[in-house]
Amino acid sequence: QVQLVESGGGSVQAGGSLRLSCAASGYTYSSNCMGWFRQAPGKERQGVAAIYTGGTSTLYADSVKGRFTISQDRAKNTVYLQMNSLKPEDTAMYYCAAECRSGDWYKVLAPTEYIYWGQGTQVTVSS
């Protein structure tokens, strides 16, 4: 059974940092893709960052470039999202996703591309 367990969310003031973790189990972690998504109330789920677990390729949404960093620890089957210089507009439920359907790298920030999803972790940034 595939499990994606997120942790690390919380409440911070604008300008602060948080580090999210996503521990994966039950599927082939290597040579696949994993992504972080977020969804604010009343808004669609949007891609934030993605990583190719078999290499070093990463992709970011324009809104987080230069502030967020996605990384991985293959030994732990875990992906991280380091979020710096947080803004109130970063407030959302953050979800981890795994295993891309098409293998098209340029689709990795699309929610429809992913098969497995975690339960989410809340990030709240106050001004």
Q: How far is CA 80 from CA 7, 70, 91, 121, in A?
A: 10, 6, 18, 13
Amino acid at 12: V
- The closest alpha carbon to 96, from 48, 28, 43, 56, belongs to 48
pLDDT 10s digits, 79-117 = 999 999 999 999 999 999 999 998 899 999 999 999 999
55: pLDDT confidence band, cut at 50, 70 and 90? confident
CB of 73 closer than 8 Å to CB of 80: yes
Is 1 a residue whose pLDDT tops 90? Answer: no
The whole-number average pLDDT for the span 28-56 is 92
> 53: Cβ–Cβ under 8 A, 6 or more apart, which residues?
29, 30, 31, 32, 33, 34, 72, 74, 79
**Rounded distance, CA 16 to CA 104, Å?**
34
